[in-house]
Amino acid sequence: MSKRALRAKTFKTWFKHNLKESARDIAAHGADCGFPYITYTSDTVHLFDRYGDEIWAMAVEESEQLGYRSVAEMIAEFKRSDMFSSLDEFKNLMVWYACEALAREMEDAHESK
């Protein structure tokens, strides 16, 4: 992934710029189905390294809203929670989580119009 692709100040802005057109498919099928910029672990690691604080804050907020005792408890229920054998896989999973959360948010906003 080029440095240019990481110029956005926030992950949400990055997502809208790069994956807005795929939001419906990401929301319906999951981010692990192979979309630009989030297919390869090396790319998602770069994204997490750039936007990790924001992604973590999203996870904390959602876990609290859903009544989990911790983010770890929520993550344990992710469809791909088997991806915890390395730090890079954790970063990948968290980027996928954030993409799916933003995709659902965009779809919900679109449907309420």
62-91 tens-digit pLDDT: 999 999 999 999 988 887 777 778 999 999
- Whether residue 31 is contained in a domain is answered as yes
- Split into its structural domains, the chain has a count of 1
- Whether residue 35 is contained in a domain is answered as yes
- Whether residue 2 is contained in a domain is answered as no
pTM of the complete model:
0.89
**Helical H segments across the chain, by residue range:** 11-19, 23-29, 41-65, 71-75, 87-111
11-43 tens-digit pLDDT: 999 999 999 999 999 999 999 999 999 999 999
Closest by CA position to 54, among listed 15, 18, 82: 15
- Whether residue 23 is contained in a domain is answered as yes
- Whether residue 100 is contained in a domain is answered as yes
Q: Which domain holds residue 96?
A: 9-111
Structure tokens given for 50:
């750039």
